[in-house]
Amino acid sequence: MNEIHTERANPERILEESWLLFQQKGYRGVSVDEICLQCELTKPTLYYYFEDKEDLFVQVLMHKLKGFHKAGEMPGTLMEKLQRTAVSILDSFQTEYSSLLRDREHLKRAENLKKIKDAFHAEFFQPLNEIMRSGIESGEIADQNREMLTLAFLGIINNFIGRGKETEITNSVLASGLTDLFLKGAGSSRIIP
């Protein structure tokens, strides 16, 4: 019995279960009691691993943002790098990532806001911005503001998070169509190939 309790109190499991709850209900919509119930643990066990709900939320976001940069660093064409990034986002989120970032406004500690901002920039925004730079340098993308291109691509992908399930389209197919739309425009591409 003790082995089961130890396994269920695993910090990785707490992060994963909390990730699902925060996506479904937002920061304010999830209580510590609900997290404990979902993870099948007591509050003292939760507080053994995380200082409080705010610390847990920050750790969840940092944990989930970690590794996004890898999709763009792998070799491949501009299209392949953008598609891998899009699949990674579509696979990782159940709800628009922007709603989770908006939940930052409920955090009280400045250092936590900085941690999330830095993680988002380093793991999510900057790697995609580098893909855009590479595309501009290769002539595959018109020479324009990289930050705007990055935000436009993220906006397109963000609006389709969770939509693949509704339409029974795989995230890979959806990512391919959305990347094609981003690179070629609505006049010459289809979202669903």
Give 63-109 pLDDT, tens digit per residue.
888 888 888 888 999 999 999 999 999 998 887 776 777 777 888 99
190 assigned to some structural domain? no
**Spatial distance between the Cα atoms of 191 and 183, rounded to a whole number of angstroms:** 12
54 assigned to some structural domain? yes
The last residue of a domain, from among 13, 39, 59: 59
The last residue of a domain, from among 32, 59, 86: 59
What is the average per-residue pLDDT within 155-164? 86
102 assigned to some structural domain? yes
| The pLDDT of residue 8 | 47
| The pLDDT of residue 111 | 95
More confident residue, 9 or 172: 172
Report the predicted TM-score, pTM, of the whole model to 2 decimal places: 0.82
137 assigned to some structural domain? yes
What is the average per-residue pLDDT within 141-153? 94
| The pLDDT of residue 167 | 76
Two tokens at 176? Answer: 């391919």
* C-alpha to C-alpha distances, 185 to 62, 119, 162, 178, 180, nearest whole angstrom: 33, 30, 22, 10, 7
CB contact at 8 A, 148 and 164 = no
CB contact at 8 A, 83 and 179 = yes
pLDDT digits (tens, 9 = 90+) for 6-64: 444 589 999 999 999 998 898 999 999 999 999 999 999 999 999 999 999 999 988 88
Q: Is residue 129 over pLDDT 50?
A: yes
Kindly state whether residues 89 and 168 are assigned to the same domain: yes
Write out the residue range of the structural domain in which residue 25 sits: 2-59
**Spatial distance between the Cα atoms of 64 and 165, rounded to a whole number of angstroms:** 21
Backbone angle region of 170, left / alpha / beta, with phi > 0 → left and psi within -120 to 50 → alpha = beta
| The pLDDT of residue 3 | 38
**Spatial distance between the Cα atoms of 104 and 52, rounded to a whole number of angstroms:** 15
Tell me which residue of 49, 54, 85, 80 sits closest to 67, measured CA to CA.
Answer: 85
Q: Is residue 5 over pLDDT 70?
A: no
More confident residue, 122 or 190: 122
- Domain at 99, CATH number: 1.10.357.10
| The pLDDT of residue 133 | 95
Kindly state whether residues 30 and 95 are assigned to the same domain: no
| The pLDDT of residue 189 | 66
Highest mean pLDDT among 60-74, 126-140, 160-174: 126-140
